[in-house]
Amino acid sequence: MIFETNYKLEDYILNTDWEDLPSNVKNRAVVCAIDLTAALILGSMGVQRRVGLSLAQNIYRDGDLPIVGSGEKLSFIGATVAMSHAANSFDIDDGHNMIRGHPGTSFVGGVMAASLKNDISYKEYLTALVVSYESTIRWALAMQDFYRFMHSTGAYGAFGTAAGVGKVFGLDRETLNNALSIADFHAPMTPVMRAVEYPSMNKDGVPFGTMIGAMAVLEAMQGYKGKTHFLEMPEYQKLVDTLGMEYEILNLYFKPFTCCRWAHQPISACLKLMKDHCLGPDDVEHVKVSTFVAASRLSKMVPHTTDEAQYNIAYPVAAALVHGDLGYMQIRDESLKDEKVLSMMDKLEFTVDNEMESQFPAKRLAWVEMKLKNGKVLKSEVFSAPGEASDSVDHKWIVDKFIRITEPLVSEDKQKRIIDELSVPSEKSMRQIVGVINGDCWI
């Protein structure tokens, strides 16, 4: 089918200005910036980021761009590589139910690197985040409809990164169209259910999608020509027609726990029962988790790496039952031999509830039945995960999460300085902002 390029998306990306955004979208952009910074801080401590940083140091080292969580200075692509490996390292980043993945982490490494290269203001960075979310989510909806297959985060990260980097670099509409078309065509496959069943650093494919998106922009700037992307096709114009009127960034969920979202519901159910009945892990004899099919397919193996622990359902639930939380300290490699957690994993059972399955993916639901050693049986209510779009996540919610999730790594004073910088859309340059975030990493 031959059709004319209408540049609707490209014009939206290039012409969107901070001052024109609705107040609720501005507030959500700040929430996202704080949350993505938390993901990058935790990610800077992960093995995956160490791999990405080593790669960047060896291949893309010539440059002067700072990266979150390191004193290293790298090139634009080097910074993209390092931060894209960090962004999803601990699976603590935002998500969108209908695309079944993580839009923010899919592009933040590239958009942050571009923002540092051009040293734009924090307001401009926030604006780039907004257009990246809006482009990423819409392209993901189109892509998943077109292929009828659950390609995940890395796939649509290529497109979203090209959108955000293209805006920051100030491309003209034709060059941006080429960049988006290149990213669309070369986006990685990322078959997410394979990662669910066989967890590894492959996970959501974030680094490769981000790198392809960044390279697509550079290719287009050199004259490489692409042709067509999904959001130009007539059948997907309905997704483009809502740009600037409906904001998918408002439909994000935010994750309180460092693991796959599909494990958050039973974690929440278990923690509520434990709290309401003043229980400790030694009181628990058996826990039956009833959930949807995809969650039931998450790995239940004893993990040997943090990636195996995150893309797992038994380990996170067991760790939360033992420790009352699931954050960096429970999911890092050093914590995976905790005998109490491993013993608790043996007490868990997982089953599919047809009612929970019928509501997926719009809702991710679960409930648990807990048998105590004294013979008493407790049943939870049906839980969705905390931080859903319907929960109206606001500044306080995300700050509370930031403080809790970064507490093992960042001092209280440093947390306050970071939050103060990120809470106010300002004209400060992104190099200044990252300088405050980094400080002495993480005193």
**Fold of domain 8-255+420-438:** 2-methylcitrate dehydratase PrpD (1.10.4100)
Q: Does domain 261-384 have CATH number 3.30.750.24?
A: no
pLDDT tens track for 4-62 = 778 999 999 999 999 999 999 999 999 999 999 999 999 999 999 999 999 999 998 78
Give the C-alpha separation, 194 to 327, whole Å: 24
Cβ neighbors of 210 (< 8 A, separation 6 or more) are: 80, 84, 87, 106, 107, 109, 110, 154, 157, 158, 161
How many separate helices (H) and strands (E) can be counted in the chain?
A: 21, 7
Give the C-alpha separation, 406 to 37, whole Å: 10
Of the pLDDT bands very low, low, confident and very high (cuts 50, 70, 90), residue 1 is: low
Residue at token pair 């050199």: 222
pTM reported for the whole predicted model: 0.95
CA angle 209, 44, 66 (to 5 degrees): 80
Q: What is the DSSP string of 55-99?
A: HHHHHS--S-EEETTEEEEE-HHHHHHHHHHHHTTTS-S-BBGGG
Decide: 158 and 219 in contact? Cβ < 8 Å: no
Give the C-alpha separation, 192 to 151, whole Å: 6
pLDDT tens track for 50-59 = 999 999 999 9
Residue at token pair 């690197």: 113
Instruction: Give me the residue spans of the domains in the chain.
Output: 8-255+420-438, 261-384
Give the mean pLDDT of 266-270.
97
> Identity (one letter) of the amino acid at 196?
V
